[in-house]
Amino acid sequence: MDADHVVGSFKYDITDIRFDVPVVSAALTRPGKPLPSDGGEPGKVFNAQIAAIAKGDFDALLKLSPREYRESSMADAKKDDGKMEMMAAQAFTPSKATITGGSIDRDKAWLGFDGVQDGKAMKGLAIVERKDEVWHVRNIEVPEAE
């Protein structure tokens, strides 16, 4: 094994496997054009959603959600003033996040970020999509807790 190759073998049952594979960069390039350092319009929506969740502001979170989500899932959550929905959002969303870069391809943007979740530093990826000319956070991907 060196900086350019990993060589090894392993046995499983009656199979003996040997390998010699090149090491390649794990850098992932996303489609589209780079976003400005603040994430542009998708970044503003991402930052607003992080802030709403951190503050426990259910009404602000509703305003940032896509219309069909507000009318279905969030309508049920409104019955208890969104307490359960907000608890779940806070459990799985960083309390602080700083955009580190991103790209945009038509109606989809990817935002890398450094954040804090449960008092621990972490990195994540937000996927933000535009529907009916309005940007919404579709998903926030963060590493699983160890």
Task: Indicate which CATH number applies to the domain containing 133.
Answer: 3.10.450.50
From CA 21, how far away is CA 5, in angstroms rounded? 5
Residue 62 belongs to some domain of the structure: yes
pLDDT tens per residue, range 95-116? 999 999 999 999 999 999 999 9
**Closest by alpha carbon to 140, among 117, 118, 111?**
111
Residue 63 belongs to some domain of the structure: yes
Kindly report the number of other CB atoms within 10 A of residue 97's CB atom. Answer: 25
Number of domains in the chain: 1
From CA 125, how far away is CA 112, in angstroms rounded? 5
Residue 102 belongs to some domain of the structure: yes
Residue 98 β-bridge partners: 114
Number of helices and strands (H, E) in the chain? Answer: 5, 7
- For the entire predicted model, the pTM comes to 0.76
* Percent of all residues in the chain with a pLDDT value above 70, rounded to a whole number: 88
Residue 121 belongs to some domain of the structure: yes
Residue 125 belongs to some domain of the structure: yes
Residue 80 belongs to some domain of the structure: yes
Q: Which residue has the higher pLDDT, 80 or 130?
A: 130
Containing domain of residue 62, as a range? 30-141
pLDDT tens per residue, range 49-77? 999 999 999 889 888 988 887 777 666 66
What's the confidence (pLDDT) of residue 77? 67
What's the confidence (pLDDT) of residue 65? 87
pLDDT tens per residue, range 27-53? 667 789 999 999 999 999 999 999 999
Q: With 0-12 CB in 10 A as exposed, 13-18 as middle and 19+ as buried, what is 43?
A: buried
Give φ, ψ of 28 to 5 degrees. -110, 125
From CA 5, how far away is CA 7, in angstroms rounded? 6
What's the confidence (pLDDT) of residue 73? 65
What's the confidence (pLDDT) of residue 124? 93
What's the confidence (pLDDT) of residue 12? 82
Residue 16 belongs to some domain of the structure: no
